[in-house]
Structure 1
């Protein structure tokens, strides 16, 4: 696979076209065209699932950065990421995940449905007020606020701080792109990491003095180091809503471009709609792993220290797994997607993200039956890792 083709404007605009070509070449291929340490691209559904659960392939952890970016500890953003469970494996990952997982049990997520419904209604009221003056920017006024407000409630972050968080979350997200760790992005991400670290350090101190029923209090009572505690709060908060924000934006676009399917959406079938949105345009298109020792993926060698592009978006369109994979079909009988990952790092917030989508989409169209795009998003280059709209302007018409 030509890495330059993937990173080109054409590749960023229409990655499924590249995915389709890859599926004619097998399930994994060598990577050409870049000096970024990528050896293999794996894109077949079963092969992707295998890599994600195979302990031979690890997160891009501190050992990987020591090999490829020896000065990485000078960057607060990289230290935050590598101190979190999202970039560790084995016991260091499992212990923290078990603690944080208590906030995302099936019972707790189910109990949140009433709160998600109430929050959705309040945000729709706000959209209606804003719409009186013209088109509304959906991503900032709804797609961000719904999941971030839910995560704020779980962690114990005051709702009034959410506007402050968004640009800092976006700054850290930018360096996760395949070619995103450039000087400008790193400066912004490092500044954001310092500010977020100071914020959560202060919040942890308050919760240690006056504990509450929230995740900050739960983690503050553990024996995690202060660095690991703050890093996991930052990354859990960020990860807890970024993918759902893109699910809401991507999913709304899919429905507005397909009036017949939008008309058939209801509270009874919305689960299958949300699952198909996640398959068709997953908010996370690519994950990256590396091989500490020489390994092989479906006959393609991966030398020690080299990285693997684990192509979730391509796996979700594998014709060996899905009938007519490039069609958006909420009624498809095919098995589920890999949009929330697989194996030890399967997304803790998957059930919560689905719940938020299942509540939001029927409510949006019930309140605004003639909801429409005020401006076509067009074919624009988007990130490949966290894929979604920066902005999405809609006209919120009633019945």
Structure 2
């Protein structure tokens, strides 16, 4: 289970060069052992089957509050951590069950599908504005999802742009929780919460046809969201609603430009979009890993795991497992049975998955058809993160 080679590979993934190409390291880790122990004591799984087990096994969950103190002492005094550790992203049943039920009544499939004409309109408008050499992240990958989720939630359009930097700073805690990171993440989280508190108060006075108003009114079996739960939920939905989709769009464009035969397939057959988006999610997923804690003594990957041990599932590695996906390092938009691990699984399966898929299915065919000579106009600037994989800049030529 432990080896010096595995330790070196895991250490490389914390460095810029390792994050640039994590997939070759994942492959080597998988070949060493299905389960390896990191230097911090966490158990790491890289096979598809084991990643699925981690996301779905009810004996695995998130850290209970008493364990969080060991990870980050006084976490409740840090806005960035408090907003993370009290959200449905990281809490356990029964609180998770109650909150998810309440938000699901507002974040319905009908509400998402009703956005399709508006998303198409936004895509066309953004493409109309793109000429010559542009930064794809700035010109398209960020404004599309931030405006979609902003419109869904009811955040006024002039207020949306400020959140790109704020959310990026807040989500630094997904990578590490050092004091230096918290000095950046805490003010960002506090600013987001302060803004949403004002907007929520306004919606209480004057409800609108948006999701924040729906969350304010949401009720299930006589229970409603508390003010703290409402603000935490709104912050999570907004941040997750554009951060991961921005990275999905940018990662997809890079993958398509580096595989021009596949780009041509999508251009010639826009009907490939649903399969193409699944394959692009598998090939270079925006969310590379997730963590759980064993609540009981279990067996994982044929190895005994003690209750209380932390487990990290490398979803990006599972998406490249040859036991599940033949020739996994090859991008194939026509691949059958290519459902990725990218949105997690089990009770914590991503609420926003249908919306992210819909945006990409509309945007990517429109982009490659509008610009037949789409190409790189410079070197992409990668985000310095392993947990969230994406680009900060992506220069492209659309002339």
| TM-score exceeds 0.5 | yes
Aligned pairs, how many? 385
Judge conservation of contact 2:251–2:284 (CA < 8 Å) in 1. Answer: yes
Q: SS in structure 2 opposite 1:7?
A: coil
Structure 2: tracts of 5 or more residues without a match: 1-5, 219-223
Match of 1:204 among 165, 180, 200: 200
Instruction: Report the TM-score, using the length of structure 2 for normalisation.
Output: 0.92
Residue 328 of structure 2: aligned partner: 325
Match of 2:306 among 300, 303, 307: 303
Judge conservation of contact 1:155–1:215 (CA < 8 Å) in 2. Answer: yes
Q: SS in structure 1 opposite 2:393?
A: coil
Match of 1:18 among 19, 22, 25: 25
Matched, 1:190 2:192: no
Match of 2:163 among 162, 165, 176: 165
Residue 252 of structure 1: aligned partner: 253
Judge conservation of contact 1:43–1:312 (CA < 8 Å) in 2. Answer: yes
1:229-255 Cα distance to aligned partner (Å, 9 max, x none)? 111110111111211111100000111
Q: Distance in 1 between matches of 2:355 and 2:60?
A: 28
- Measured after TM superposition, the shift of residue 126 of structure 1 is 2.1
Instruction: Report the TM-score, using the length of structure 1 for normalisation.
Output: 0.92
> In structure 2, do the counterparts of structure 1 residues 193 and 63 end up closer, same or farther at CA, with 3 Å as the change threshold?
same
- Measured after TM superposition, the shift of residue 113 of structure 1 is 1.0
- Measured after TM superposition, the shift of residue 256 of structure 1 is 1.2
Matched, 1:228 2:229: yes
Judge conservation of contact 1:174–1:185 (CA < 8 Å) in 2. Answer: yes
Matched, 1:141 2:109: no
Q: Distance in 2 between matches of 1:138 and 1:25?
A: 38
Residue 391 of structure 2: aligned partner: 389
Residue 274 of structure 1: aligned partner: 277
Q: Distance in 1 between matches of 2:301 and 2:392?
A: 37
1:97-137 Cα distance to aligned partner (Å, 9 max, x none)? 12222344332222211110001111112223xx4xxx211
Matched, 1:181 2:183: no
Residue 351 of structure 2: aligned partner: 348
- Measured after TM superposition, the shift of residue 61 of structure 1 is 4.5
Q: Distance in 1 between matches of 2:272 and 2:16?
A: 36
Q: SS in structure 2 opposite 1:317?
A: coil
Q: Which consecutive segments of 4 or more residues in structure 1 shift more than 6 A?
A: none
Q: Distance in 1 between matches of 2:58 and 2:241?
A: 25
Structure 1: tracts of 5 or more residues without a match: none
